[in-house]
Structure 1
């Protein structure tokens, strides 16, 4: 009776497996869209903070799986898994696995890099990540191109090391970004060498072309960094605004601003800024930095000269921050003298790395704004 029960149970499990397999192949054409949303939703629930150990371990696992699936997919495409039936058994799922984890990495990077991006200057790199995320899902067939696969591997590994190294070492800098590029480039070159030795590629020209692509991507990303077009991860701007007043209430900043019209219910700062004699302009920033990271940041004020048609630097103040506060390091910089017109306040890290900015217009009035609304941060 026990033997018969086991046989029946095995038959039931086999039928269930065949149903799942049949369901997969029946709806395989929808797999790219489902993979896209599955990866994005998975990241939304599993990734929380850029310096959290669990999150970085998850991303490291994603990276290892992407590289593994790229290697296995190409070995299978050349018939090099024939002698390993255990790996060959799951060969049909390697491309889907590669696509899923590439999409997961790109979606995670979009979240992390977007949090560090300024809307005026370095959203280009975030746009590149978004494009790659969409391309992974839409152009599935093109992912069979070995050069494209390894170019994406280099991009995701460089992006990962670019924020991991500052977290581990407690500082930021161009040298760490270059080290991230060297690590990722060497990793991809080793894969190219393995493919050449294993017979995935057979001509010297293919190997040299692959290495040349690695060097080209390394140079391109380094150039984007120097041009301030890559967000300053792992720093993340939590809040920025211009206010009429500020004071510390316990562990919070109480920020005063002119009440917004009812149809601008989301506004919690002064834009435009109505300036009366005796007023002060208060720039407030809340900046998140990982635990242990030490960085020098500057607040810079600019005024737009309409006669010369250019931004004029007014003043700046430098401070050193130590990361670790969950809601961000907070700082105010106030001015008591001003001119009417367009103003911009920038928050920058060392090497002139733009973290964020506030643009607003100053309008002169005779009477101070009263009463003020207040925002706690």
Structure 2
């Protein structure tokens, strides 16, 4: 069951619950001896709503977690994971319509944040703002059309403002772009449709990764960075390799920002590369960024003082 159907199902259940709530306020109170309705008639719609929200947050968590590549974005995705888990224990709270409207509005906004750039083939900031407002407006419209208009809808607009603020501080992953891989190395060749990057092999005791984080370069030797970024078919945009150096006095300093065009559709991700020469010893990073500076991927490494040893073990990575 896809996210779109879950959204429509959740909207229908919300409308039904609002209508039922409105009818209960105008119908006479049943006699004390009247038979109580079966549990499934009372609790069934809430369980169905819980199922819809669970499916939506599960899909959204996967979408956003796969696009997370730096601290704030990972925190954001984990926050969605917390909501996903909490949803399993919120059945009784769904009787509070303010909460259900807030959750529905959040789902609508996040889903449109993902879908709209895919449909229009563009990830500009304007589409994030418009899709966020559209999601909040959709929830507000459904609230207006629901009989009795139960619960408050204002929290949805507060969530929309929070999403826009999170976007401005680069906390929201740049969906639908997904980082497949990013690496730096000494030499880069293209053969049989693959990029092959020569990298320094990590010592055997660093078993959790294959390549060395400290890179040894000869004088004027270039260092290549290759990133594979997945984008859906039809999405064409421009990305940038943002090379930065860490200075003890100034912190992270931009050394260059090199652009390349991305065309979506390749399953393994579209490969873009750049290179730099004469890198000073110390801490470096290369971030893959959108045109408006949102981080898609980031790779940090250290340039050593000494050149590469002749017998240094190397590893060839295919991207």
TM-score, normalised to structure 2, is 0.88
Greater Cα shift, 113-122 or 355-364 = 113-122
Structure 1 position 94 matched with structure 2 position 45: yes
- Go from structure 1 to structure 2 and tell me whether the alpha carbon gap of 1:286 and 1:269 turns closer, same or farther (over 3 Å shift): farther
| 1:66 matched residue in structure 2 | 10
Which of these residues, 249, 268, 274, is aligned with residue 333 of structure 1?
274
Task: Tell me the distance in 1 between the aligned counterparts of 2:133 and 2:47.
Answer: 29
Question: Equivalent residues in 2 for 1:122-141 (5 A)?
Answer: 122-141=73-92
Q: Structure 1: how far apart are the matches of 2:277 and 2:204?
A: 29
| Stretches of structure 2 lacking an aligned partner (at least 5 in a row) | 28-38
1:257–1:268 Cα contact (<8 Å) kept: no
Structure 2 partner of 1:194: 145
Is this contact kept in 2: 1:192–1:211, CA < 8 A?
yes
DSSP 3-state at the match of 1:337? coil
Cα offset, 1:366, TM superposition: 3.9
Aligned counterpart, 1:349: 290
CA distance in 1, matches of 2:173, 2:215: 28
Q: 8 Å contact 1:276–1:368 — kept in the other structure?
A: no
Does the aligned pair in 2 maintain the 1:242–1:269 contact within 8 Å? Answer: no
* CA drift at 1:90: 4.7
Which residue of 168, 172, 177 maps to 2:119? 168
More helix by share: 1
Tell me the residue number matched to 1:313: 254
Whole-Å Cα distance in 2 between the matches of residues 213 and 244 of structure 1?
A: 52
Q: What residue ranges of structure 1 are gaps of 5+ in the alignment?
A: 1-45, 47-57, 83-87
Two-structure CA RMSD over aligned residues (Å): 2.4
Residues 78-103 of structure 1, C-alpha deviations (whole Å, 9 max, x = no match): 55599xxxxx9755321111111211
**1: CA distance between counterparts of 2:24 and 2:75?**
40
Question: Where does residue 105 of structure 1 map in the other structure?
Answer: 56
The alpha-carbon distance between structure 1 residues 193 and 240, as it changes in their structure 2 partners (threshold 3 A), is same
User: Residue by residue, what CA displacement relative to the aligned partner does 1:102-131 show, whole Å, maximum 9, x if unpaired?
Assistant: 111111111111111222332332133112
TM-score by length of 1: 0.75
Asked whether the 8 Å contact 2:70–2:295 carries over to 1, the reply is no
Residue of 202, 208, 223 corresponding to 1:281:
223
State the distance in 2 between where 1:328 and 1:116 align.
13
Aligned equivalents of 1:158, 1:148: Cα separation in 2: 15
Mean Cα displacement is larger for which, 254-263 or 227-236?
Answer: 254-263
User: The residue matched to 1:264 in structure 2 has which SS?
Assistant: coil
The separation in 2 between residues aligned to 1:143 and 1:211, in whole angstroms, is 14
Of 259, 262, 277 in structure 1, the residue corresponding to residue 204 of structure 2 is: 262
Describe the superposition over 1:348-372 as per-residue Cα deviations: whole angstroms up to 9, x where unpaired. Answer: 0021111111011111224445341
Q: Is this contact kept in 1: 2:102–2:153, CA < 8 A?
A: no
Query: SS of 2:72's equivalent?
Result: coil
CA contact (8 A) 1:66 1:101 kept: yes
Higher Cα Rg, which structure:
1
- How many angstroms apart in 1 are the aligned matches of 2:304 and 2:256? 20
Q: Following superposition of structure 1 onto structure 2, how do residues 1-377 of structure 1 map, counting pairs within 5 Å?
A: 58-77=2-21, 80=24, 90-195=41-146, 198-199=147-148, 201=150, 210-306=152-248, 308-368=249-309, 370-377=312-319
Q: In the alignment, is the contact (CA less than 8 A) between 1:303 and 1:341 conserved in 2?
A: yes
Following superposition, the deviation at residue 150 of structure 1 comes to: 0.5
Which residue of the partner structure matches residue 8 of structure 1?
none
Q: Residues 337 and 368 of structure 1: is their aligned pair in 2 closer, same or farther, counting only changes over 3 Å? A: farther
CA-CA distance at 1:77 after TM superposition: 4.9
What is the SS of the residue equivalent to 1:275? coil
> 1:56-86, CA deviations, whole angstroms, 9 ceiling, x for partnerless residues?
xx1100111122223333444555599xxxx
